[in-house]
Structure 1
């Protein structure tokens, strides 16, 4: 069986397992939708009180919110295996079983446990994108649709890269460090707003360290058709999502180093 076929076979097995408890799956999805919905209410309350924030209107910020949450929902579903690598594989010795299989480790981990509940965040992100379209008057030309899909793909790569790094750290710490949540959930929180609202050092971190601005801010500015307040040229938004794929490639380089360090459970 080819790698892609095996991946879909693993995903199907994961979904079938969750489908055995449909009520639980539906409630988990609904809970994810409602919990993340609180963030939408908070953003609405902020703009309802002040109207605009540094020249940004609610509809424009909704575009940032929708794009980032769609990116993270997909990456979080695919990266579950890296998130639980320490507790479910390294500590139990189950990682040895993955090593014995004639397929790549990342593929096995990405197909390990694809959670249906992530559909809650995905649905909410898509709904907010629809709201942003109506509120900000976004014209979804073929070029803009292509850019949005490119940005989402780059964002999925970026967040997946962060989860890969989180799993890589478990080769040294065994436990998955909660500090990684600063870059996953914290990255989602930061990406929901234009980076112009942040201090210069934080903008640089989100551009050159963890390039969240490259997959969310600059493409969104290009889709909105407005000039960047930071002075970046218009073409940046059309190329910047590539940074997400570069980040993922670098993350897998670190992953390979971590795998070589692994010495088995000894049992």
Structure 2
């Protein structure tokens, strides 16, 4: 609980610092809005061109897009320290200062960065989620709300876990590894659409290696009353926990990697 309070206080201070330069913040937030709005336009064009995509209606595509956007950009909003800033911490020597403090390194890293510009991306994702829900005629109940919340929370842990792969490589190579972006940012772009529209190799990648299919698509399809692969209802509650498993495993590997950390001397 003390760590949680520390995190909230740190994020509050970071947000306040970002908002000191109001004009800059507004322009950057609008730039993010244009970028995410462009991706939303792609979905709209697909929906306008095709009545369905392998059995999924256009309204279903909005729902999948919204869930992925909200999950991914919430992670970047609150976890910028690990999703984007860590390689620079290693290069500049900032990580050295974390090692001599009484708090855990991972806690300090997560407290060290936030990206409030992503609020516009979250807004676009939320709009898509609401639009997809209404057009799909989802009959909401408590179970479906719980599954939605669990799916977004576990997807956030999964995304953090995947970004930690880049952080781990940065400890050994100093510079970030662009190959990891194929799983993180590439996964975001690919998994904005239902996983079963892709060929088997991509399905395997996003089910076993980076299990967005389990944290996001299985619960989303159940909420839409179209269970993925015909899997039973309980999978919508259990499969998203794979995100927590990935995060726990990568946290352990991260702490092991820190034992081999050598300062850059900056």
- Pick the TM interval, shorter chain: over 0.9
1:36 aligns with 2:36: yes
Unaligned runs of 5+ in 2: none
Partner of 2:102: 102
Partner of 2:24: 24
Distance 1:50 1:5 in 2: 48
- TM-score normalised to structure 1 length: 0.95
Mapping for residues 50-199 of structure 1, pairs under 5 Å: 50-82=50-82, 83-87=84-88, 89-199=89-199
Partner of 2:6: 6
- TM-score normalised to structure 2 length: 0.95
Ranges of 4+ aligned residues in structure 1 off by more than 4 Å: none
CA contact (8 A) 2:162 2:184 kept: yes
Residue 78 of structure 1 deviates from its aligned partner by 2.8
1:49 aligns with 2:54: no
Residue 77 of structure 1 deviates from its aligned partner by 2.0
Residue 235 of structure 1 deviates from its aligned partner by 2.3
CA contact (8 A) 1:79 1:164 kept: no
Distance 2:58 2:46 in 1: 9
Distance 1:149 1:17 in 2: 30
Distance 1:4 1:220 in 2: 29
1:205 aligns with 2:226: no
Distance 1:195 1:265 in 2: 41
Partner of 2:232: 233
Unaligned runs of 5+ in 1: none
CA contact (8 A) 1:68 1:191 kept: yes
CA contact (8 A) 2:11 2:78 kept: no
Distance 1:205 1:168 in 2: 20
Residue 58 of structure 1 deviates from its aligned partner by 0.7
Residue 178 of structure 1 deviates from its aligned partner by 1.8
